[in-house]
Structure 1
C-alpha cells in the first residue's frame, strides 16, 4: 500500500480542488535526515514478524554495533514509545543496545523502555529489567524509573499491589538507598494521578510519620483533589496544609487557580483572578503557566476580551508565551468560532519559532471540523504531513472518524499509511474506523491488509471488527485470509499479558468466532 509522493506548497494546495489534492498527496515523499533514519529503524522493528522470530539478526543488519550511540538509542526507544510499539520488541531492541554500547545505556533509554513495558502491562518483564539494571547498570535506576512503575501499578493493579511494589522497590531494587520524602512523594503521586484520593489519604496518614512531608508532598495531594473535580475538598485540604505550617508557593496557587477556572460549565475565572492578586500579595510571582491557566478559564467563561488581555499580559510581565500559552489562546478563539484568527495565531507561532504540538493541531482540527471547513481540514492535514508531524492517538482517531464519515476513506487510508510509514502502530480504534469505512465500500482486501499490519505489530484488533471483516472475507471467497488473521490472533494470545477482559478476552472471543465461522 506504500507509494512515493511529492509535497505541495501551501499556496499550490489552496488552488487545487480536493480530488486533485488526494491524487497529489498520495505521491508525497518525506525528506531524508536524522529523523527519517529513526523512523526507518522504528519501522524495521515494528514490521518484523512478532513473535515468530528474534529481532537480533535484523538489528545487526540495519544498525551494526559500531554505529550505535547513546543518543540514537534514546531517540529510537522514544519513537517506539510514541508509536505504541509492542513492549517485547522494544525490550529486545534495548537489550541489543545494552550488549553493544561500550558506555552502557542511559537512564532516559531505560526509562522509556520500562514505560513501554508497564503501559502494556508486561509487569514481570519490567521488574525483570529493573533487576538486570540493578546488577549491570545501577546508575540508570532513577526516581523517574520508580515513578513510571508506581504509576502504572496504581493504574492497573490494586491498592495492596501498589504498596507491595513500593516495598519491592525499597528492598529488592534500590538496595542500599534510604527511602525518604522523594520516594514517599512518588507513592502518593501514583494514587493522586489516578484520582484515588481515599487511597492517597490512607497512605499519607499511615506513613507521614516515617517520611517527613514537604510542600511538594502537600501540592501533590492538593493536585489530586483538584483533578478529582472536588473544589470544596481541595480548599479544605489547602487550609489543612496551611494549619500544618506549610507555606503555599507558586505551584500551590497555580493548582487552586486551575480548579476555579474549570469549576462548572462556565468556570469561575473571577475567582481565579482574585487568587492571582492574593498570590502576588503573598510574594509568589506568577508564571507563564499561571497566565495560561487563566486564559483557559477566560475561554471556559467565553470571555474573549479577558483572554486577550491575559495573553498580552504575559509580555507585560517580561515573560515570553510558550506553546501552551498559544494553545490556550487558540482554544479560546476556537470556542468563540474565530477559526481564521486561530490559524493566524498558529502562523505567528511558526514565525516566532515556537513549536506546534499535538494540542495545537488537535484544537485547530476540532475548530475546522465544527465549523464545517472541510477544505481547511484537508489543508491543515497537508500542512501537518508536510512538516513530518505525527499526531497522538486522540487526534488520529478524530481525523480517521472525520475522513470516514465524510466519505473520504482514501484520506483515512493515507493517514494509516503515513503513520505506518513513520514506524508507528496506529491505535485499535483508528483501525476499527478505517476497516468499517473500507468494508462499507467493498474494499475488504485493503481492510485485511491494514488489520494484518496491526496484528503483525503485536496489537490485537477488536472482536466486532474481526467478526465483520471475517464475514465479508468469507463472502468474497477469501477464507485463507481469514485463517491468516485468526492465526495471528492465536500467536498474540500466547504472548500478550493477561488483563481484565482486554487482550486475553478479545483473543479468546476472536478465536471462537473465527472457528465458528470456518465450521459454518
Structure 2
C-alpha cells in the first residue's frame, strides 16, 4: 500500500517504485474491465479449455484449433488470456503452447506484451531451457519483440533462482546471441543491476556496478535503481549513505529519488522524516507526485496518525493530482490500522460513487479490517459481496481467506472459494490447497480433499508433499487404495515433464504398502 500500489500502471522503461512487484507491470493489460461481455466470455471459455485439458496425455494445439478460430486471436485477446493464465497459476507449458498457437495462426503481428507474459510464466516455473528456446525463436522470427522488459523478466528470475555468475552469463548471452545487432549501453546495464536489486542482492549489485560502470556510463536511473535496492533491504542508513554518494558523484536527485527515501523512512515508522523530505522537495521545486502522497498516507497509517493521512488525502486536488485506487487503498489501510472500520466502509462507498474501481488490495485491506473488528462474520459478508461482483482476488488474498475460513470452522466457505476460482478458470495456489485439504481431512471430508488435489494435478501443477502424505494416511485408513494409486500415477506422469521443486510430492515411498 505504498509506492508499489501504482507501480503497475507505470511504463516499464521508468524505474519501478517497488522491486518486489517489479514484473507485475507485465500484466497490466490483462485487466478485463474494459472488454466487452462477449470477449470476456470467449476468454473465460479458452481459459477453462486450457486448464481442463488433459496434460500431458494429449497435445493442446489441436484442441485450440477446434475451439479458437484465428479471427478472434487479436493481440488484446491473446494478452488477456496469457495474463489470466499467469494469475491462475496455470502450467507454463500450456501457456507456451497457446503462445505458439497464436504465433502460427493469428492474422495479427505478434505483440511484445504477449511474448513477455509467456516468458514470465515460463521463468516463474523455472522452465529456463524453454524460456531460452523461446527467446532464440523470437530472435530468429520476430526480433522486434525483444525488449528491455523481456530482458528484465529473464534476468530477474535467473537472479532469483540461480547464481550470481549465472545471471552475468545470461546477460552476456543476451548481448552476444539474442539481442544481436543491438549495442548494449546504459539501459541494458540498468536492467542487469535491477535484476540483482529485485532480489535484494545488494552486495552483488554493488560488485557489478563497480566492475562495469566504466563500460556503461551510469545515469540518474542507475543510481535510483541501486538506491531502491538498498531501501528494499530495509536499511535506512544504507539508503542515506548511498544517497550522499549519489550526490557526490554529481547526480541530481529527482522525484523518484525523493520517493524512495520517503518510502524508506515511512516503512520504519519515521513519518516525521518523510514529511521533512516532502518539504524539501517543494523547496527545490521538485513537485510531489501521487506516488509521493500515497507513500506518506501509508506512512501516516503506520504511526496511527489518521488525521494527517486524511489531510494529505484531501490536499490531493489542491496539488493538481487525481486520486486513484492506490491512494484510496493507502487511506483505507490507515483507517483499518486505527480500527476505524466504519470510516473505511464509508470510503469504499465513496470509491464506488466516484467510479474508482476496487482492486485486490482494496479487498485484502478490508478483509483484514473485517476480521479484526467483526470476526469471521464480517469476513463472510464481504466475501459474498466480492463474489457477487465476480471479482477474483490475487493469490495472497485467496490464501488469507482460505486460512481464515479453515481455521474458523468454515471449511464449507473454503471449498466454495475453491470451486469459485476453478469455475473462473483459475488453478488456486498450492498454499491454498494445503490449507483446504488440511481443513477437509480434519473433518472427515476426504473425498472432497482428494477431488481438489486431483484438479490441481489435472491442470499440470504439483501438489505439496504435505498434502500427499495427508491424503495417503486418510485414504489408507479408509481402504481407498485405488484413489491413492491414481494420485501416484498422476504425480509420476507430471514428473516426466515438470520436475518437482523442494516440498513437492514425489509419490509413495518404497516402504508404503498399498496393495
Structure 2 residue 54 is matched with structure 1 residue 55? no
**TM-fit CA distance, 1:517:** 3.0
What secondary structure does 1:516 align onto?
coil
Q: Does 474-483 or 283-292 show the bigger shift?
A: 474-483
**TM-fit CA distance, 1:50:** 1.4
**TM-fit CA distance, 1:67:** 3.1
8 Å CA contact 2:265, 2:273 repeated in 1: yes
What secondary structure does 1:183 align onto?
helix
Q: Distance in 2 between matches of 1:339 and 1:272?
A: 26
* TM-score of the superposed pair, with normalisation by structure 1: 0.90
What secondary structure does 2:511 align onto?
helix
Q: Distance in 2 between matches of 1:358 and 1:36?
A: 21
Q: Does 352-361 or 374-383 show the bigger shift?
A: 374-383
**TM-fit CA distance, 1:467:** 1.1
Aligned partner of 1:15 in structure 2 is none
| Aligned with 1:410 (options 401, 409, 412) | 412
Structure 2 residue 77 is matched with structure 1 residue 72? yes
8 Å CA contact 1:188, 1:221 repeated in 2: yes
Q: Distance in 1 between matches of 2:112 and 2:52?
A: 27
| Aligned with 2:106 (options 101, 108, 119) | 101
Structure 2 residue 398 is matched with structure 1 residue 396? yes
Pairwise mapping of residues 101-180 of structure 1 onto structure 2 (< 5 A)?
101-180=106-185
8 Å CA contact 2:329, 2:361 repeated in 1: yes
Aligned partner of 1:284 in structure 2 is 286
Aligned partner of 2:88 in structure 1 is 83
1:231-266 CA distance string (max 9 Å, x none): 111111101100111000000000001111111xxx
Q: Does 480-489 or 31-40 show the bigger shift?
A: 31-40
Q: Does 210-219 or 454-463 show the bigger shift?
A: 454-463
**TM-fit CA distance, 1:409:** 1.2
The gaps in structure 2 that reach 5 residues or longer are 1-35
Q: Distance in 2 between matches of 1:493 and 1:324?
A: 41
8 Å CA contact 1:308, 1:329 repeated in 2: yes
**TM-fit CA distance, 1:317:** 1.2
Structure 2 residue 193 is matched with structure 1 residue 191? no
The 3 A distance-change label for structure 1 pair 274 and 67 is closer
1:151-193 CA distance string (max 9 Å, x none): 0000000000000000011001000000011100000000011
What secondary structure does 2:444 align onto?
coil
Aligned partner of 1:511 in structure 2 is 508
Aligned partner of 2:319 in structure 1 is 317
**TM-fit CA distance, 1:278:** 0.7
Structure 2 residue 441 is matched with structure 1 residue 439? yes
1:43-82 CA distance string (max 9 Å, x none): 1101111111110121112112233222111111111011
1:90-136 CA distance string (max 9 Å, x none): 00011011100133321111000000000000000000000001111
What secondary structure does 1:511 align onto?
coil
8 Å CA contact 2:481, 2:514 repeated in 1: no
* TM-score of the superposed pair, with normalisation by structure 2: 0.91
**TM-fit CA distance, 1:446:** 0.9
Pairwise mapping of residues 132-281 of structure 1 onto structure 2 (< 5 A)?
132-263=137-268, 267-281=269-283
What secondary structure does 1:402 align onto?
helix
Aligned partner of 2:335 in structure 1 is 333
Aligned partner of 1:490 in structure 2 is 492
Q: Does 483-492 or 109-118 show the bigger shift?
A: 483-492
**TM-fit CA distance, 1:221:** 0.3
C-alpha RMSD of matched pairs (Å) = 1.4
Q: Distance in 1 between matches of 2:380 and 2:38?
A: 26
**TM-fit CA distance, 1:497:** 4.2
8 Å CA contact 1:490, 1:511 repeated in 2: no
What secondary structure does 1:412 align onto?
helix
8 Å CA contact 1:121, 1:497 repeated in 2: no
**TM-fit CA distance, 1:498:** 5.9
1:466-485 CA distance string (max 9 Å, x none): 11112211222211111111
Pairwise mapping of residues 314-393 of structure 1 onto structure 2 (< 5 A)?
314-393=316-395
Aligned partner of 1:455 in structure 2 is 457
What secondary structure does 1:372 align onto?
helix
Q: Distance in 2 between matches of 1:104 and 1:516?
A: 55
1:380-418 CA distance string (max 9 Å, x none): 111211222111111001101111111111111110011
**TM-fit CA distance, 1:516:** 3.3
8 Å CA contact 2:376, 2:404 repeated in 1: no
**TM-fit CA distance, 1:377:** 1.3
Aligned partner of 1:466 in structure 2 is 468
1:327-356 CA distance string (max 9 Å, x none): 000000000101121111112111111111
1:446-474 CA distance string (max 9 Å, x none): 11110000111111111121111122112
